[in-house]
A and B are shown apart, each in its own frame.
Chain A
Amino acid sequence: DQQVKQNSPSLSVQEGRISILNCDYTNSMFDYFLWYKKYPAEGPTFLISISSIKDKNEDGRFTVFLNKSAKHLSLHIVPSQPGDSAVYFCAAKGGGADGLTFGKGTHLIIQP
């Protein structure tokens, strides 16, 4: 049973526009959420995170929004750049587990 769901396997966005990646979760015990970015043949790299006590966290071009009542979070990238093309994983922490629980990822493609 997938506790963290990324329902869009891929997303194509034009360079300069906003990219919005979505993530839903089912475990209400999750108390911290993270986004990782992964290029082929490399390990995931940390991008941005948010605690469950907040609803927004911003870092440069990247903003994560959390809607606890809807158990939904999203990552906004604006403006999108070609180097943003990668697989983005949503991850959650909590519920008694030491490790992170990951979604299946969304492949973001930035088109020139």
Chain B
Amino acid sequence: GAGVSQSPSNKVTEKGKDVELRCDPISGHTALYWYRQRLGQGLEFLIYFQGNSAPDKSGLPSDRFSAERTGESVSTLTIQRTQQEDSAVYLCASSPHYLSGGAVDTQYFGPGTRLTVL
């Protein structure tokens, strides 16, 4: 069974360029999350997709960040006009479904994309 996959595994870009990161969740998982981890920091929540509901974008650090998800499949995270502070590992996670009432469904993480902005 395939886990969460992400591409590319590494991306080096110049300041000011746009980048697009891809996440393939586990088949059948309705919930998808993006996080980033900057050097020496914990994981920072960015955005959450659940089925066809409007995404929770509350964690996006600026309007240069956006994400899309087609149905319950692939998601792309786009960073426009990249800055050096965007350098981080970007992690995607998926879970089978969202549970209400405080219960939490286990999130399964991909290996991440290491983004370096020069």
The answer to whether B45 and A99 touch across the interface, beta carbons within 8 angstroms, is yes
Number of A-B contacts (CB under 8 A): 71
**Number of B residues contacting the other chain (C-beta, 8 Å)?**
29
List the interface of chain B (C-beta within 8 A of A).
4, 33, 35, 40-48, 50, 56, 58-59, 91, 93, 98, 102-104, 106-112
The answer to whether A101 and B104 touch across the interface, beta carbons within 8 angstroms, is no
Tell me the minimal C-beta distance from B104 to chain A in angstroms: 5
The answer to whether B43 and A44 touch across the interface, beta carbons within 8 angstroms, is yes
Given contacts A32-B104, A51-B102, A99-B33, are A89 and B42 in contact (CB under 8 A)?
yes
Majority DSSP secondary structure for residues of A touching B:
strand
List the interface of chain A (C-beta within 8 A of B).
4, 6, 31-32, 34, 36, 41-46, 49, 51-52, 89, 91, 93-94, 97-105
- B34 to chain A: closest residue by CB: A99
Given contacts A32-B103, A99-B59, A104-B40, are A43 and B110 in contact (CB under 8 A)?
yes
A-B contact list, 16 entries, CB within 8 Å: A32-B102, A32-B104, A34-B104, A34-B106, A43-B110, A45-B108, A46-B108, A49-B104, A51-B102, A97-B56, A98-B33, A99-B35, A99-B46, A99-B48, A102-B35, A102-B43
User: Which residues on A sit within 8 Å (CB–CB) of B45?
Assistant: 97-101
Assuming A43-B112, A98-B58, A104-B41, what are 11 further A-B pairs, CB within 8 angstroms?
A32-B103, A34-B104, A43-B109, A44-B91, A45-B109, A89-B43, A97-B45, A97-B58, A98-B33, A98-B56, A100-B33
